Structure 1
Amino acid sequence: MGTPAFRLYRSLEGLFAVYKPPGVHWKLVRDMVETNLLRDINCAPRPGPRSHVKFLPQSCGESEECKKMTLVASRLPMLADHPLVAGPQFHKLRVGVGHRLDAFSSGILVLGVGQGNVGLTDMYHSHSTRDYTLEGEFGMATDDFSCQGRIIERTTYGHITKDKLERVLAMIQGANQKALLTYSNVDMRSQEAYELAVKGMLRPQGKSPPIVTSLRCLEFTPPHFTLEVQCVNETQKYLRKLVHEVGLELRSSAVCTGVRRTRDGPFTLQHALTRQHWNLPDITRTVQQTWAAWKNDPVQLAPPEPKTC
């Protein structure tokens, strides 16, 4: 059965999602989760120390006749098993990272422990789509397409309306739909292509450039606007550039003020653990809820049970 610490480690093997805040590198998030898990696992009760037989000198009495020393067998605990000598039971815990988020972006970051790292590889090769919420602002352009970059241009935006914005978004989505058909490697005249298109399951096969499968406006309050994007093979830099291109198509300019991932494959914001829940009990519960469901159906996961404080 193993030690309590080993059983805790085995209960962790699987996939889980955390919420990465903006301004934090994904490596720092992973390292913090790994540190918390190692700390909690190593706090588990240890098995009793092993014992060994040692012969200790012992006097047989205080009289002149009994002053000779004799050796007596005694059972003593092994010092090598003492926590101060042996150190922590686990020194390293391999926590893998799925589709990464840069420091500017926030949202769902899928992590894996043990056999869960195999699940991360399966997610990568499944070409599953991801959802983002993009915050943008008209009227300026920067060298890195974000609001934190160096401003290289200022433009007017009073001529932009929501109808014009939605027409541009429809045009961009149409161009990406053609690219999706090209990279899906499916005969467009076949019944299979028709059924996949109806279900929205067309996916690029192998390597492809970033492709937007859905793009719509959620909010428009000039100069600010919010877009919802569904895409595959994207990077966060590509998404910020997408906001820039929307501004250019509207004969203006725009910068991205926020990138937030709201879905990564079957994982949604409901499955993401916030920072106060990056501990062994909450992660173990989440893994046990999602790992079995993932292996049965990698496309969709049931919402997690409510977290208890």
Structure 2
Amino acid sequence: MSTARPRRPVPPSGLIIVDKPAGWTSHDVVGKMRGIAGTRKVGHAGTLDPMATGVLVVGVEKATRLLGHLALTEKVYEATMRLGVSTNTDDAEGEVTAVTPADHVGEQDVRRGIEALTGEIMQVPPQVSAIKVNGERAYKRARAGEEVELAARPVTIYAFEVTGLRREGQAVDVDATITCSSGTYIRALARDLGGSLGVGGHLTRLRRTRVGPYALESARTLDDLAKECVILPMAEAVAAAFPRRDVTEEEARLVAHGGRLASAGLGPGPVGVFAPDGTLLALVEERGGAARPLAVFVS
């Protein structure tokens, strides 16, 4: 008599919108979701620091191939920044490096500082970040006591709105909602806002409320997902995130084998290609008059 355990069915390919809890790394969430979904093929788009909560887009099975493209979308955060206290990580998880009275800083001062940090800006990432310097993560070098030189990078702050301002002793807490491009460090904004006001600053709270079209309203906690693992089908996920192109049967056969299509003028970013029956075929990129596959999902 066979004692082999029955194999779990492979879950459908798609996205899971997780409301990440505080204290978990994004990798921790992926590990938990592997157990919940019953597959090793799980990844995430757009890392959240352990102290942050909110929307983390997780891909399952073939949808892991979407994640690198989803990470290039805009994001929305709710944040609290404390002015008057600096840390070595630019957030509340680091060690305090300086305390400067900020009780003279008023709302108009804060708004002027925010105005200078809105639009297309050059941002120096935090010393403690995952950016590689000579092949090694910056945070490893920083935690070893090394002063890390990180180059400024272009990011776009589409909106930076103050939603509250409170005085905490000689410090000032600023609540804000920020809409920004991928690659933006909100803790660097807190650092730079405080720096521009001469008092220093760091991030004390961060909640991501949207990644591209995926909002907090559709996110589920890990406890909820353990009870019911809701997976957004790939076709729906792609249709929500990218321009859609419906093709003929002949074009569908070409795309399914990695062939190129003529450009349809749908823009430089990824475009979702769908067969006549609505099946998702591929993501393509339009360049030089042709649409070339970035990822093909059928064969």
TM-score normalised to the size of structure 2? Answer: 0.62
Deviation per residue, 1:12-69 (Å, 9 max, x gap): 311121011121111111111111222xxxxxxxxxxxxxxxxxxxxxxxxxxxxxxx
Does 2:23 align with 1:19? Answer: no
Instruction: From the two aligned structures, give the one with the greater strand fraction.
Output: 2
| Equivalent residue pairs, number | 204
Does 2:239 align with 1:293? Answer: no
Q: Secondary structure of 1:102's partner? A: coil
Q: Distance in 1 between matches of 2:84 and 2:53?
A: 24
Q: Secondary structure of 1:149's partner? A: coil
Following superposition, the deviation at residue 120 of structure 1 comes to: 1.6
Contact 2:88 2:97 in 1 (8 A): yes
Does 2:119 align with 1:170? Answer: no
Following superposition, the deviation at residue 278 of structure 1 comes to: 1.9
Does 2:161 align with 1:216? Answer: yes
Q: Distance in 1 between matches of 2:75 and 2:48?
A: 12
| Cα distance, 1:271–1:148 mapped onto 2, change above 3 Å | same
Following superposition, the deviation at residue 169 of structure 1 comes to: 0.9
Q: Distance in 2 between matches of 1:116 and 1:172?
A: 35
What is the aligned counterpart of 1:107 among 54, 76, 100?
Answer: 54
Q: Distance in 1 between matches of 2:8 and 2:95?
A: 50
Q: Distance in 2 between matches of 1:141 and 1:228?
A: 21
Following superposition, the deviation at residue 233 of structure 1 comes to: 2.8
| Cα distance, 1:295–1:20 mapped onto 2, change above 3 Å | same
Contact 1:16 1:271 in 2 (8 A): no
Matches within 5 A, 1:260-299: 260-279=207-226, 282-284=228-230, 286-288=231-233, 291-298=234-241
Contact 1:209 1:233 in 2 (8 A): no
Q: Identical aligned pairs, as a percentage?
A: 22
Following superposition, the deviation at residue 4 of structure 1 comes to: 9.5
Q: Secondary structure of 2:104's partner? A: coil
TM-score normalised to the size of structure 1? Answer: 0.60
Matches within 5 A, 1:44-83: none
Following superposition, the deviation at residue 147 of structure 1 comes to: 2.1
Instruction: From the two aligned structures, give the one with the greater helix fraction.
Output: 1
Contact 2:22 2:52 in 1 (8 A): yes
Matched residue, 1:228: 177
Matched residue, 2:70: 123
Following superposition, the deviation at residue 221 of structure 1 comes to: 1.2
Contact 2:120 2:157 in 1 (8 A): no
